[in-house]
Chains A and B, each alone.
Chain A
Amino acid sequence: MEEADKVHEEAPEPPVLSDNQEDKKGASSFKGKEDPTEEGNEELKTKMQEEKKDVNKRIMSLQKRLTTLVTNIQTAADAKEMERRSGMEDNCRIRDERLKNDAKACQEKVEEIRKGWSIVNQKVVHSELQSVLDSQQQLCAAVIEDKKKLIRDLQQERRVKEDQYLKNLRRLDEEIKLMLDRMQQQFQNLSKAYSEELTQLQGVYQQEIEVLLAKDKAKLDKHMKEHWDTELESLMERRRMVEESEKTVHDVMLENTTKIKLMQLEENAKSQARLREQQQMKGKSVVLNLKQLEHGNKNAAYNAKLEEMKGKILGTSKEVKNLKTKYAKQKDKFMKQRQYLSEVHKRSRQHYERMQKEVRYTTAADARKFEEMWVMMEEEVTQLAEKALAIDSLICKHLGLAWERPSAAFMESPGPRRSQEHDTNPNSHLLQTRHPSHCSQRMMDASVGPSLERDSEHSTGVEEGELSSETLMKVMELLCDETGFLVEDKLRKLLVPMEKNEQTIVKLHSLFAVLGLKEKDLPKLLHEFLLMYERQQGERTEGAEAMENSATADSTSRLIKPNYVLPTLRRFLEQHRKRSSSHQQSSLSHPARDTSVEEAYWDRLGNIITEEKLKLWDAAERELKQYEEVLMDISVLVPETELLRQQNTELRMQLQQILSMLNSLWLSAEGREKKSRTRKSRPSTTTSSITQCSL
């Protein structure tokens, strides 16, 4: 049934598709045929539509036939099911009725039997009772018979139903087979119909296409022929035209050439006449012009030169502009770079300073630690020495030797390190105080230019008092002038347009860079120049020229002679280098320790117990060991002797007892002595044994 359903559902699909295809085909063919032959097209259209309708109808009818076949089967099955249901209901009803009837009959009979029992109770006579009982029995048997019959009938019915069911199943099976066959057939039919339809349609379309093709071809041929003919004609005409025109062109050309030649001849004649005139005129004008030319020539030359110059100026100005822009760009770039680099430089310098501080701090910390360690070690060693001395004294006392403390004064005095501590403390104080001063100096010197002057004033003012900025500037200028050979030519050229002040500052910078000095050294340098040299100078020239001395004492004229600038500078540099190197060393390495003192101290400590003493100690140890051994032997022997002594006393006690006994015996035996002489021997033997024992 379900399969039938499915077929029913699936069936409508294919024709629609085919319709679709047909439609498309029709449309495409229509489109292809939109040509001048409209009448034929119309005909074809109607024909096609008719055909399509026909096809549609046929397909639909086929479909309907096939689907109705399926639905018929389904309805038949439904009908059968209905029939079966109604039959079942009828059967059920009949069975119910029958069962009801039976139950009713049964009830009646049971009633009868019950009544019979009441009769049985009334009967007294045996025979009567027997007969009544028999009848009762018969009634019961009848009831049972009825029931059995009913059961038999029902069973029969069931059997029949079973057979029917089986048959039904078989029939259903056959039907299903049949249906499958039919479905198969339907499929085949449908596909066959479709394929037929397709071939038919294809044939029709093929024919149409052929017809159309033939028609179109003929038309095309015709058209082409006409076209070719017209083309050919026009071409021929054109050729003719071309030939004609060529001829005419040739003629015209010939005519023209003759005309032109004539014209030329005339022109030539005219021009010759004119030339002659001109030359005459020229002859005149040349004379006139010659004078003018002299002037003109000069003017022209100047003009040309001027032009050239102008061009050059323009070119150079352009170049200058370009260069300027380039310069500006470069300047910007370098400015940026410089800023960046200066930042980097500042950062790295800060970093370096931090590192230095750290290093200093760590070295100080290490030194302190070392000191502490050292002190501790010394204390420990002195304690050890004390201990050793104590032991030595003990030993001496034991040996009965006189012991005296070796150089007590040295022992009591603290180690070299501890004694040094007091000395180094102020030293370190100095170091510490020196640092801040450095720092402040550096801080002050960090600002260049005007502040520099102020600084120098400040620092030197303490000692010099009347050293003014003017003198400073002068000194600086002097320095620059004298050491000018160290400054590069280019720089000098660049500096020309600047002010003098700036010049000197820049020069100083470059100079310092060359000499490897820093800005913070400047005031020192100046100081050197102003002070030391003056002093020397003064000393040197004191005796010779007092006038000069007084002149130099004047603050304004207290300048070094230019000749001495270079040597002073050199000396200052040497000093500076030394100082810087020594400064570095002092900052990094510890002050050298006096190792010899310490060595002596340690040696003394090590030799506090002398070699002789050691030998003595060894000998004493050996002796003491021997003595100990002897003592050990004695200690082993003591208990033995003790034991022996005890035994001895015991034996003595025994002997005493025996002797007392013998005495008593002797006393008693005196009486019997005479009777038995023979017994005399026994006591003698005992006494002998006692003596033996005592031994």
Chain B
Amino acid sequence: MRRIIAEDLDWSLATVSSLSNLCLQCIVNNFEEKPIYEELTSSEKDFIQNRVSLSLPLHFAANVFPDGVYWKRRCEQKWKVCDVSNYGESWKRMFFERQLENIIELFVPGITEPKTVLDMVTLCKDHIKKLNIAQLLPPVKEPQTEDEEQATELTLENEDDKSGMDHFDFRILLDKLTNLEELHLVYKVKSCGMNFEWSMFEMTNRDCESLAKALKSCKTLKLFRLHLSHLEDKKCRLLVKYLLDHPSLRTLDFSHNVIGDSGARAIGKLLTKSKLEILNLYDNNIGGPGAKAIAHALSKNTTLVSLNLCLNRLNDEGGQAICKALLNNKTLLHLQLGANGVTWLTALSLSSVLAQNNTLKSINLSCNTLGECCILHLEARATKKVNPLCHLGGYCHRGLVKTTSGSSMRPSFHVGGNALEEAMSHNTSVTECNIHLTDIEERKVSVINQMVWNNQFRKQETSPREKNTENAN
């Protein structure tokens, strides 16, 4: 059959690919039987990474392919949303971290073989830096007959200590991950629906112990976050006990738990012993005594940069203690005491701190009643036969409006606001100050905000380049 090219409009040379491409295609087709990869040039490697089947067994692929297009393809095949910037721009790391997270989140104790986790771990232990585990399943309960159910109701309280409800044991995992730096844990069950039980949302004692030992064995951990897990004092103490000598831990986050005073005391001890930089105890149950312990540790500590105690029950007792500790501390940059029920007394001591401390950068005092009518306190104190004026000292005369009759006229006795305002006028370091919903007079709030704003602007004026470099780092 003869044809002249000019006559055949469909004829094209491109249909025959080059020999090297055919060879590469052959390698791709037989990759599982005969993996040829290391010997190739970089462009050929790209070719292979772009074409090799995604169903290669993981233990095989993990050893052959470095980070690159192949792992990107696998990630995109598995998940819809892939933001590689959260994983240090490494697709391989992303793949393995999410894979391991998936396995652990779907791990049912007693049913799933621990081997599945261990197999995965041997493959990916070098690549995992961060684990964000969003749920931990409890073991499946055997369907019980009604008689037994009644019996179990009676022994419900002891059940925790029996093997019934233990979650995944981290001891088998953490000591093998040699590069792990961040661990985020939540003891809860996602979308449990009508099977809801409180026990699904808390850890058992044995869980706590195994987790603590596992944490101790993981020497590279820098960030540990255990939130929304109904962590009590006892368990908190246990965890802290094992973390006391941890060599690398820098960030500890126990937000949204139920830690009380004794737990806070333990954390205070941890602050004196370790090199923590960020401590987050948002939304817990810490009261005055606990806060005092933390304050005591804070006055000696030289590493802590950020302390978050929002939504606790410090009250003035704790608030004042912490402010006093700040007089001796020159490292803390961020302090958050929002929603703690502190009053103008704390505001007074804080303003005395602000007047001489030039390291604090941001303060949060929101949702406290700083500017509360002092007269009420006066009255309250008067009933307790205590003279408030001696406590108020020199600040009283400024905001004091003489009242003829007690409650008919609302007296404006804004001691806290005044004190803060004056302190801020001396301070140059604070660039953020949140005093919303604190009953401080509007005018004062705006004045304070203006000062903060000036501080911020000045800082940016003087060292924009430094800041740039900081950010770049």
Contact = CB atoms under 8 A, between A and B. Distances in A.
A127 to B, nearest CB: 47
B434 A81 contact: no
Given A60-B457, A64-B453, A81 B283 contact: yes
Nearest to B283: A81
Contacts of A75: 338-339, 366-367, 434, 436-437
A56 B467 CA distance: 14
Interface stretch (A15-23, A320-328, A470-478): A15-23
B318 to A, nearest CB: 15
A72 interface: yes
B145 interface: no
A305 interface: no
B223 to A, nearest CB: 15
A76 interface: yes
A16 B457 contact: no
B102 interface: no
Contacts of A552: none
A404 B423 CA distance: 158
A466 interface: no
A78 B366 contact: yes
A57 B456 CA distance: 11
A23 B464 contact: yes
A79 B467 contact: no
Contacts, number: 45
A75 B340 CA distance: 12
B310 to A, nearest CB: 6
A82 B366 contact: no
Contacts of A78: 310-311, 338-339, 366-367
Interface string A55-97: 0110010001000000110011011011000000000000000
A82 B464 contact: no
Interface in A1-15: 13
A375 to B, nearest CB: 70
Given A60-B457, A71-B434, A79 B468 contact: no
Nearest to B255: A2
B163 interface: no
Interface residues of A, number: 17
A72 B457 CA distance: 21
Interface string A22-46: 0100000000000000000000000
B341 interface: yes
A19 B467 CA distance: 11
B368 to A, nearest CB: 9
A60 B460 contact: yes
Interface in B197-214: none
Nearest to A22: B464
A63 to B, nearest CB: 10
A13 B471 CA distance: 8
Given A16-B467, A23-B464, A75-B367, A81 B339 contact: yes
Interface in B323-345: 338-339, 341
B454 to A, nearest CB: 12
A56 B339 contact: no
Interface string B441-467: 000000000000100110010001101
A64 B338 CA distance: 19
Interface string B67-98: 00000000000000000000000000000000
B460 A56 contact: yes
Given A16-B467, A23-B464, A82-B339, 6 more contacts: A20-B468, A75-B338, A75-B434, A79-B339, A81-B339, A82-B311
11 contacts: A16-B468, A19-B468, A20-B468, A57-B457, A64-B453, A71-B434, A75-B436, A75-B437, A79-B339, A81-B311, A82-B311
Interface of B: 283, 310-311, 338-339, 341, 366-367, 434, 436-437, 453, 456-457, 460, 464-465, 467-468, 471
